[in-house]
Structure 1
Amino acid sequence: MGIMSKIVGGGGQHTTDEYLDLDVEGVEASRGDAGMSVRIATIGGRQDVIDIKDAVYDGDLVIADITRHTTSDDTMKRIVDELRQVAEEVDGDIAQKGDDQIIVAPTDVAVAREKLN
């Protein structure tokens, strides 16, 4: 379906109404040909990890909102360990951005640790 499809997050299903389509000419036609999509998720609990793992195994990059947890939370530590294992299994990457996001990248995708500006 692609990035503008329904996204499953921590509080249930989110619709495409939450995302602003910028109407870039020609993008709609090429979206179906993309080998990788960027998926957005919210981690509310351990059950949300299943959808994230499936997306990474399918070759998608996932940006997960973790604001519902503190990084010292035991549940969050287990979640990060599970996601780290997935990243290792697919030869991808995982990084945490601040206290609010985790980025899990699929095979052959690295998350740069330096900001662009």
Structure 2
Amino acid sequence: MKMLKHVYPNRHRMSEDDYAEIDAPNTEHLNGPNGIAINIAEIRTQQDLLDAKDVLYGGDILVVYLEGEKSALSSSHIMDELRNTVEEVGGDIVQKGEDQLIVTPQTVQINRNKIGGE
């Protein structure tokens, strides 16, 4: 997957080989024209940001890991750009922790009520 680069916010670079396959039901049916995918992104360059915005324009969900000092772009610049894109597509955006954003298209709202962990 193009955007599948980093699932955990560890500081070392991971590859697709670092992911463990979880025994899950057959998901081939999810590749239809109405399916929404969740994409994982590390945004370090302007091209990474453009690719992430394309995911939102395409109607998919985006989980973004902000790379801080490893990035050529500031976190505030990335957040501003994604916030503007969310406004354009009518989606939603939240920041989780210091280095993670969850961004959705118009068809998906992010519930801000936390489940558990009281």
Same fold per TM (> 0.5)? Answer: yes
| AA at the equivalent of 1:26 | N
**Aligned equivalents of 1:46 and 1:6: distance in 2?**
15
User: What is the SS of the residue equivalent to 2:68?
Assistant: coil
**Aligned equivalents of 1:40 and 1:53: distance in 2?**
12
**Does structure 1 conserve the Cα–Cα contact (< 8 Å) formed by 2:93 and 2:102?**
yes
**Does structure 1 conserve the Cα–Cα contact (< 8 Å) formed by 2:92 and 2:105?**
yes
State the Cα distance separating 1:115 from its structure 2 match. Answer: 1.5
1:7 alignment counterpart: 3
What is the TM-score of this pair, normalised by structure 2? 0.75
1:49 alignment counterpart: 49
**Aligned equivalents of 2:30 and 2:75: distance in 1?**
33
Aligned length in residues: 105
Residues 51-72 of structure 1 deviation map (CA, whole Å, 9 limit, x = unaligned):
1000010011000111x217xx
Q: CA RMSD in A?
A: 2.3
After the TM superposition, which segments of 4 or more aligned residues of structure 1 sit over 3 Å from their partners?
A: none
State the Cα distance separating 1:6 from its structure 2 match. Answer: 4.0
| AA at the equivalent of 1:83 | L
Q: Trace 1:55-94 onto structure 2 (pairs within 5 A).
A: 55-66=55-66, 68-69=67-68, 75-94=74-93
User: What is the SS of the residue equivalent to 1:115?
Assistant: coil
1:104 alignment counterpart: 103
| AA at the equivalent of 1:39 | N
What is the TM-score of this pair, normalised by structure 1? 0.76
Gap runs ≥5 in structure 1: none
Q: Using a 3 Å threshold, how does the CA distance of structure 1 residues 26 and 47 change in structure 2: closer, same or farther? A: closer
User: What is the SS of the residue equivalent to 1:85?
Assistant: helix
| AA at the equivalent of 1:7 | M
Gap runs ≥5 in structure 2: 7-13
2:17 alignment counterpart: 17
